[in-house]
A and B are shown apart, each in its own frame.
Chain A
């Protein structure tokens, strides 16, 4: 009887090992590492890491939007039916009859869009604060994997409603997978070596876009890709922890941190003391041979910061979902594509490239960009500038120069193509190999590579040439996206505004 009476208290005590709000630093650290969800954090965190302007909470925001998509995605699975006959109707059901169905679907869609945007911004943040440098090279690679999976999740997601957007996206997507044939056909080896055909067959599971393709993309969207993302995310977080938290410059010796208007105590560096298992860990981890100066307790400082980023993400998604409905186009129609048939914004830059050559724009250039991004931390190995925006000398000016240069080149290339056409318009009988090799997209890649080499020669700094290349990549991605969004109309013609599109 007595035990039953005590049940609420004993239950609470069994859940929360500390059992009360921590009052001393010792209890704050216990609260952190006695909790499964908190112990991924270190007990103390450097005050620089907590400055909002270092990261703007972008990585956390991406994680938050991923959690939101997982929760809403599972809810949507209750009603969604992955069948070409039923999918469209089940989305309509979710939209119009299921209680809160429309709101949940909107949240799923908006948090996914937010995730793509934030992941791109997070990558830019990590780059411009040089946070990929040793020992964080591997985490940069993991991050690239996460970027690719994020895009793949978005792509497989908008295929599922089986509306016009979905049907033609599958058609175009699977044909991009098939596009190595453009090259193997051009040099006449498709009969012996056909990677394109294999990729298309694996995606569609049939000769035509239909039920087999829908099931495959459904499995990718709800199982394979989320699982891969969670696994990589685990590695990503774990590496942040093992690489000593977020990248930051060395502390000046004996420097005191100001935090919340008070000066924090400096711990005396102890030359011989190591902390527990850290004794076994090699390398320049902060706790080894150094006192934890300029750090504050994670509880509550870091957790308040994280909570607020989560809340901002949730609020943004909710507000957008309340006012803007996720689109649903007409039922898939194999006879007539929309005109223009446009991808969601994050693929429109790619669509502009694909409109020069499917193989080059859809496969080779994205590959080159990914490999280029992956190589950055392995080419730029000189330390310096970590954890500060534009940390190396001259970085800011190279950034602005590259921004202007990339704007000029990209706009010039687009204007030229729109006004004068390209090789095929001048020489209708030209061999396809020339179209693949020399098109506006591959020329942009070459010009940017040359610019980056020029910066390397001029400054003798790999970091500055990487800044040049990365800036060019970001600028042309943004401009191509803008151009294809606003200025491409029916039949992919150039129009100043969508209001000038012909009515038919």
Chain B
């Protein structure tokens, strides 16, 4: 039998298949439509731009932990940088240890620049964007990641 001469489908089975097919298609579309509801169109959440105060209050070589904002602000000779203290593994808050950061939940270890040195964390702790507000205060935008080594000099 060639492709030009396909087997005949009788009317009854054609209609059966077509109705079954349209039933399944309708149900599938309905299910897909319902599943769109729990997928939020707008993601609510707090503003994550934090004013940390005037730059003068942080001396060179200092580090300041902001626990409510989940970040640590450093100042060295080249300028300011902020490292997020949210573990890149599963989101626990890391604590400062002797030579870096340690995660209490699954034992990830980071060095003091945020690089992974042990444990399951897949990425280094993110460096966050530092800038200044109009009144001169330092601002850290916790939603914006910058490459490691980026300093903000005053």
Say whether A175 contacts B91, CB under 8 Å: yes
Say whether A206 contacts B45, CB under 8 Å: yes
Which of chain A's residues have a CB closer than 8 A to the CB of B95?
339
Stretch at the interface among A12-20, A446-454, A487-495: A487-495
Say whether B107 contacts A358, CB under 8 Å: no
The 8 Å CB contact of A212, one of B40, B67, B123, is: B40
Q: How large, as a class, is the contact surface on chain A? A: 35 or more
Please, how many angstroms separate the alpha-carbon atoms of A252 and B11 in the complex? 55
* Interface residue SS majority, chain A: helix
Please, how many angstroms separate the alpha-carbon atoms of A179 and B88 in the complex? 10
Q: How many interface contacts (CB-CB < 8 Å) are there between A and B? A: 109
Say whether A182 contacts B122, CB under 8 Å: yes
> Does B53 reach chain A (CB closer than 8 Å)?
no
Say whether A358 contacts B90, CB under 8 Å: yes
The 8 Å CB contact of A428, one of B93, B115, B122, is: B115
> Does B6 reach chain A (CB closer than 8 Å)?
no
Stretch at the interface among B21-29, B55-63, B72-80, B97-105: B97-105
Which residues of A from 163 to 179 have beta carbons under 8 Å from B?
A: 168, 171-172, 174-176, 179
Q: How large, as a class, is the contact surface on chain B? A: 20 to 34
Say whether A335 contacts B68, CB under 8 Å: yes
> Does A437 reach chain B (CB closer than 8 Å)?
no
Please, how many angstroms separate the alpha-carbon atoms of A493 and B97 in the complex? 13
> Does A286 reach chain B (CB closer than 8 Å)?
no
* Interface residue SS majority, chain B: loop
> Does B38 reach chain A (CB closer than 8 Å)?
yes
> Does A354 reach chain B (CB closer than 8 Å)?
yes
Say whether B45 contacts A207, CB under 8 Å: yes
Say whether B104 contacts A428, CB under 8 Å: no
Please give the distance in Å from A440's CB to the nearest CB on chain B.
Answer: 11
The 8 Å CB contact of A207, one of B43, B92, B117, B119, is: B43
> Does B46 reach chain A (CB closer than 8 Å)?
yes
Given contacts A205-B40, A207-B45, A216-B38, A432 and B122 within 8 Å (CB-CB): yes
> Does A217 reach chain B (CB closer than 8 Å)?
no
Which of chain A's residues have a CB closer than 8 A to the CB of B51?
none
Say whether B68 contacts A355, CB under 8 Å: no
Please give the distance in Å from A183's CB to the nearest CB on chain B.
Answer: 9
> Does A424 reach chain B (CB closer than 8 Å)?
yes
> Does B120 reach chain A (CB closer than 8 Å)?
yes
Say whether A335 contacts B67, CB under 8 Å: yes
Given contacts A201-B43, A425-B118, A354 and B90 within 8 Å (CB-CB): yes
Which of chain B's residues have a CB closer than 8 A to the CB of A421?
118
Given contacts A335-B68, A335-B93, A492 and B118 within 8 Å (CB-CB): no
> Does A198 reach chain B (CB closer than 8 Å)?
yes
Which of chain B's residues have a CB closer than 8 A to the CB of A493?
107
> Does B130 reach chain A (CB closer than 8 Å)?
no
> Does A186 reach chain B (CB closer than 8 Å)?
yes
Instruction: Give the most central of A340, A361, A421, A492: most B CB within 10 Å.
Output: A492
> Does A202 reach chain B (CB closer than 8 Å)?
yes
Please give the distance in Å from B26's CB to the nearest CB on chain A.
Answer: 23
**6 nearest CB pairs, A to B:** A492-B107, A339-B104, A355-B106, A207-B45, A175-B90, A335-B67
Q: Give 17 pairs: A residue, B residue, CB < 8 Å, sorted on A.
A: A171-B90, A171-B92, A174-B91, A198-B39, A201-B43, A205-B38, A335-B70, A335-B93, A351-B106, A354-B120, A355-B107, A358-B122, A424-B119, A425-B117, A428-B117, A491-B97, A491-B104
